[in-house]
């Protein structure tokens, strides 16, 4: 019989670190020296920040099976990062259900991520630290600034807005509006005009009107996001929204997904075109062969969910190399780039030369 994991830990976040010793949390309790092997040998690795979530979005079942938020102690995260660097990793992707809540159950509270990011960026051998799963309602100016401006931290914002109509967001048990989210995008770009911003949206949520959908489309058009995942609403067992009235027929949900997806594809391609002529730093993840081009990702592109960079043939680049490149064209959300200077790993420049960006 599945148990609601939220009931396994105290409601009060600061009481959880003591209680967590009795509750198995996958991916936590990493110990240096413990026999451990990576599942891949690529230059990018996920690094777990926390598990669980204390929010109660009406459509989401994650808190019921992942439980309350439990953060890994910062020293443990940094130690694992250092180990990953010895295994050839140059980019860390920090994962959790909600990274903006990281540290609320630790001494020092929610500023823990602001303090942790520069430490991770300073780990010898790590050239890029990327944060995923930021909750828009919990973004604070100091966190925006540290992600946008810290050398070695990718100026990349993975913000699941989910919608832009205040009425739909309230029924989702979330916060915000088109104006709020545009202001957040402007705040990010004031620090880092080239910052990447990606998002997910849900269309066809119960009670979503034509005016709500138009509000979402207006937001997406104004926001100029780099990548957007569009999902059609469907019931998740045990969630509050599953019991809502105002459900839309499945074919209407599918039609709205198609409509917003078509808009988003066009907007993402336009945003990519905006980057033509700019300089990016590309971490190579696939070398070229007879059939495939050499590909990698710039700081504004996360693995698997965003576009990628396609490097001009004949560069001779190997997997794991970091290279400056100029954007010369686009293919949808992907960038065609001409490689230039190869960048050494951070440990090689630690004695005096400052890395320019992450």
Is the CB of 200 or the CB of 278 nearer to ligand SF4? Answer: 200
CA distance 46 to 255: 35
Per-residue binding string, ligand SF4, 238-277, x by CB under 6 A, is: ----------------------------------------
Strand ranges of the sheet holding 227-232, from the earlier edge strand across to the other edge:
156-158, 196-203, 227-232
**CB 61 → ligand SF4: shortest distance, Å?**
8
Residue 71: Cβ within 10 Å count: 29
Beta carbon nearer to ligand SF4, 71 or 295: 71
The smaller minimum CB distance to ligand SF4, of residues 160 and 278, is found at: 160
Q: Which of residues 68-97 bind ligand SF4 (CB under 6 A)?
A: 97
* Helix (H), strand (E) at residue 252: helix 250-274
Site mask for ligand SF4 (CB under 6 A), range 124-143, x = bound: -----------x--------
Q: Which residues in the 48-67 window bind ligand SF4 by CB under 6 A? A: 53, 55, 57, 60, 62-63
Instruction: Choose between 241 and 309: whose C-beta lies nearer to ligand SF4.
Output: 241
State the burial class of residue 351 (Cβ atoms within 10 Å of its Cβ: 0-12, 13-18, 19+).
Answer: exposed
- Count of residues binding ligand SF4 (CB under 6 A)? 9
Distance CA 174, CA 181 (A): 12
Q: Which of 49, 58, 138, 139 is nearest to 97 (CA)?
A: 49
Nearest CB to ligand SF4, comparing residues 101 and 330: 101
Compare residues 13 and 63 and give the one whose CB is closer to ligand SF4. 63
With beta carbons less than 8 A apart as the criterion, state whether 269 and 333 touch. Answer: yes
Spatial CA neighbour of 154 closest among 129, 136, 137, 177: 129
Complex with ligand SF4: residue 136 or 358, whichever CB lies closer: 136
Contact 132, 85 (CB under 8 A): no
* C-alpha span between 39 and 59 (Å, rounded): 32
Q: Which is nearer to ligand SF4, 55 or 189 (CB)?
A: 55
Closest approach of ligand SF4 to the CB of residue 256, in Å? 20
Residues from 294 through 333 that contact ligand SF4 (CB under 6 A): none
For residue 162, the minimal CB distance to ligand SF4 (Å) is 7
Q: How far is CA 294 from CA 183, 308, 345, in A?
A: 37, 11, 20
* Minimum separation from the CB atom of position 55 to ligand SF4 (A): 4
For residues 21 to 40, the per-residue mask of contacts with ligand SF4, x marking binding by CB under 6 A and - elsewhere, is --------------------
User: Phi and psi for 303 in degrees, rounded to 5?
Assistant: -60, 140
Q: How far is the CB of 258 from ligand SF4 (least distance, A)?
A: 23
Contact status: 119 vs ligand SF4 (CB under 6 A): no
Taking alpha carbons only, the member of 120, 113, 23, 30 closest to residue 70 is: 23
C-alpha 56/C-alpha 59 separation (Å) is 8
CB of 260 to ligand SF4, least distance (A): 19
Query: Which of 58/77 has CB closer to ligand SF4?
Result: 58
Q: Interface with ligand SF4 by CB under 6 A: which residues?
A: 53, 55, 57, 60, 62-63, 97-98, 135
């Amino acid at each position: 019989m599945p148990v609601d994991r939220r009931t396994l830990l105290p409601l009060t976040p600061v009481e959880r670190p003591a209680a967590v010793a009795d509750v198995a949390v996958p991916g936590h309790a990493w110990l240096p020296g413990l026999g451990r092997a990576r599942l891949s040998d690529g230059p990018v690795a996920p690094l777990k920040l926390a598990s669980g979530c204390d929010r109660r979005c009406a459509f989401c079942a994650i808190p019921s099976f992942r439980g309350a938020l439990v953060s890994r102690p910062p020293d443990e995260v940094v130690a694992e990062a250092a180990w990953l660097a010895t295994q050839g990793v140059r980019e860390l992707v920090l994962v959790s259900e909600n990274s903006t809540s990281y540290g609320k159950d630790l001494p020092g509270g929610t500023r823990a991520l602001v303090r942790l990011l520069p430490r991770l960026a300073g780990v010898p051998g790590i050239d890029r630290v990327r944060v995923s799963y930021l909750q828009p309602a919990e973004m604070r100016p100091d966190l925006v600034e540290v992600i946008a401006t810290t050398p070695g931290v990718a100026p990349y914002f993975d913000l699941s807005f989910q919608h832009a109509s205040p009425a739909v967001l309230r029924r989702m048990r979330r916060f915000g509006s088109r104006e709020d989210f545009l202001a957040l995008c402007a705040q990010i770009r004031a620090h880092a005009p080239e910052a990447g911003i990606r998002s997910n949206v849900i269309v066809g949520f119960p009670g979503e009107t034509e005016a709500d959908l138009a509000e979402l489309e207006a937001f997406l058009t104004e926001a100029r996001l780099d990548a957007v995942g569009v999902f059609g609403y469907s019931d998740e067992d045990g969630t509050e929204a599953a019991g809502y009235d105002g459900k839309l027929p499945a074919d209407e949900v599918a039609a709205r997904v198609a409509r917003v997806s078509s808009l988003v594809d066009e907007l993402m391609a336009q945003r990519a075109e905006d980057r033509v002529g700019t300089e990016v730093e590309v971490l190579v993840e696939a070398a070229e062969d007879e059939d495939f081009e050499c590909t990698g990702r710039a700081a504004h592109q996360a693995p698997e969910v965003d576009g990628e960079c396609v490097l001009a043939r004949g560069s001779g680049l190997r997997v794991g190399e970091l290279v400056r490149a100029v954007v010369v064209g686009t293919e949808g959300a992907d960038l065609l780039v001409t490689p230039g200077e190869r960048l050494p790993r951070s440990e090689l420049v630690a004695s005096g030369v400052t890395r320019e960006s992450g």
